[in-house]
Structure 1
Amino acid sequence: MTSAAHSPWILGLTGGIGSGKSAAAERFVELGVHLVDADQAARWVVEPGRPALASIAERFGAGVLLDDGQLNRSALRELIFADPEQRRWLEALLHPLIGQEIFTYLAKAESPYAVYVSPLLIESGQYAKTQRILVIDAPHELQMQRTLQRDGTNPAQVEAIFKAQLKREDRLRHADDVVVNDRDVLWLREQIDRLHHFYLTLKGGQP
């Protein structure tokens, strides 16, 4: 698999909170598709020994590190949410590194296509690096219900997350494929299986 001609095309997978994108992602993994999750990559780049963690500690002090040298996420979160300028600094440091990590990893995929999962695929502009976009969509009330059940948060918090995320219409406008996940998980898995067979027929993500 050394030739660039064999490098897999990349499917961007996204969806609002409570849409079921994690369940969809799990199914792709079960089908043997190489997948990387933006949240996962965000954890990799700040592991001990990585340059990003040293830069963060240098800027914010040892208080952002746990005793074992890992990043103390909640301490860092408090610092950056209180100060938009610090948050921008952190994003400017991490976003390029996360992007690099993700696309290096995806390029090594042995499957004909690879999946990049990100709740902020469109907002971050990273969709531009994918060849095709799959949106898992669900009616607002259902997203709300699932999120409340899963996270035990209150409706106001969930609404705040909704407001921060891209409007449904904008997300759907970028989509090549849409699965409306308003049934059970078995049905969702069947939809992913169907798409998977279709994706295997594609060259470079387009028919």
Structure 2
Amino acid sequence: MTKIIGLTGGIATGKSNVSECLSENGYEIIDADKITYELQQKGTNCLNDIVKYFGNHILNDDGSLNRKSLSKIVFSNKSNLTSLMRIMDPYIRFSVNDRINKSTEKTIVLDAPTLFESGYSYMCDKIVVVTCTANNQLLRLIARNGLSIADATKRIANQWPLEFKERLADNLVDSNGSIMQTRSQVVKLFNKISKEIN
């Protein structure tokens, strides 16, 4: 039976770097963010449902999703973000389960920023949270997305507090150091976890 390691963290804590490292080391990654992106492509049932709720003004002229427009709507109003997640959750959940069921690997990494919030933690044999200091998280988000301090703080506040996720984790990855330091830590940790659960 396939074992699932849940990988999560806060926005801009370095989770993508960890996921990329694991992929390079041969782990199969089911990336909820990539699934979300695919589901929001032009012509999908998921995008049609999003447009029905939020209106045609979130589309570009060619009918594709204007991500900046949608982000502005959902990150400025928590109820809008909740509504978006309710629309998308059934589609994401189906796709995640479908990929798990089709996998032939002994171990899969489920990379999901809302692993706890969306209830995916119950599917996992082990959970790893990528963490860093609040200051590093804020500075990374500002640099990565070109946001103001106020907008970056608002986006961080829309997720569960990092400290809460840390308490629910089986293992932590400290990403405060360099990328190479983080990657070295990740390879050792995941090799250890894989031996424990298989």
Q: Same fold (TM over 0.5)?
A: yes
> 1:85-144, CA deviations, whole angstroms, 9 ceiling, x for partnerless residues?
665554322111111112211333343211122222212222222221101111222222
Give the C-alpha shift of residue 58 in structure 1.
4.6
Whether the 8 Å CA contact 1:34–1:106 is kept in 2: the answer is no
Query: 1:40 — aligned with what?
Result: 34
1:64-103 equivalences under 5 Å are 64-77=58-71, 88-103=82-97
Whether the 8 Å CA contact 1:16–1:168 is kept in 2: the answer is yes
1:144-183 equivalences under 5 Å are 144-183=138-177
Query: 1:143 — aligned with what?
Result: 137
- After superposition, the Cα gap between the structure-2 partners of 1:107 and 1:28, relative to the gap in structure 1 and judged at 3 Å, is farther
Of 166-175 and 64-73, the range deviating more from structure 2: 64-73
- After superposition, the Cα gap between the structure-2 partners of 1:157 and 1:63, relative to the gap in structure 1 and judged at 3 Å, is closer
SS in 1 for 2:197: coil
> 1:59-108, CA deviations, whole angstroms, 9 ceiling, x for partnerless residues?
55554443444333344455666877665554322111111112211333
Of 118-127 and 58-67, the range deviating more from structure 2: 58-67
Whether the 8 Å CA contact 1:11–1:115 is kept in 2: the answer is yes
Cα RMSD for the two superposed structures: 2.6
Of 101-110 and 27-36, the range deviating more from structure 2: 101-110
Query: 2:109 — aligned with what?
Result: 115
- After superposition, the Cα gap between the structure-2 partners of 1:116 and 1:155, relative to the gap in structure 1 and judged at 3 Å, is same
Which amino acid letter does the alignment assign opposite residue 180 of structure 1? D
SS in 2 for 1:18: coil
The 2-side partners of 1:178 and 1:96 are apart by: 29
Alignment match of 2:128 (pick from 127, 131, 134): 134
Which amino acid letter does the alignment assign opposite residue 92 of structure 1? R
Structure 1 portions without partners, runs of 5+? none
Which amino acid letter does the alignment assign opposite residue 172 of structure 2? V
Report the identity percentage: 28
Of 60-69 and 161-170, the range deviating more from structure 2: 60-69
Of 127-136 and 57-66, the range deviating more from structure 2: 57-66
Query: 2:180 — aligned with what?
Result: 186
Alignment match of 1:124 (pick from 100, 118, 122): 118
The 2-side partners of 1:102 and 1:58 are apart by: 24
- Taking structure 1 as the reference length, the TM-score comes to 0.80
Structure 2 portions without partners, runs of 5+? none
- After superposition, the Cα gap between the structure-2 partners of 1:57 and 1:20, relative to the gap in structure 1 and judged at 3 Å, is closer
Q: Which of structures 1 and 2 has the bigger CA Rg? A: 1
The 2-side partners of 1:82 and 1:45 are apart by: 22
Query: 1:12 — aligned with what?
Result: 6
The 2-side partners of 1:143 and 1:84 are apart by: 21
The 1-side partners of 2:69 and 2:114 are apart by: 23
- Taking structure 2 as the reference length, the TM-score comes to 0.84
SS in 2 for 1:178: strand
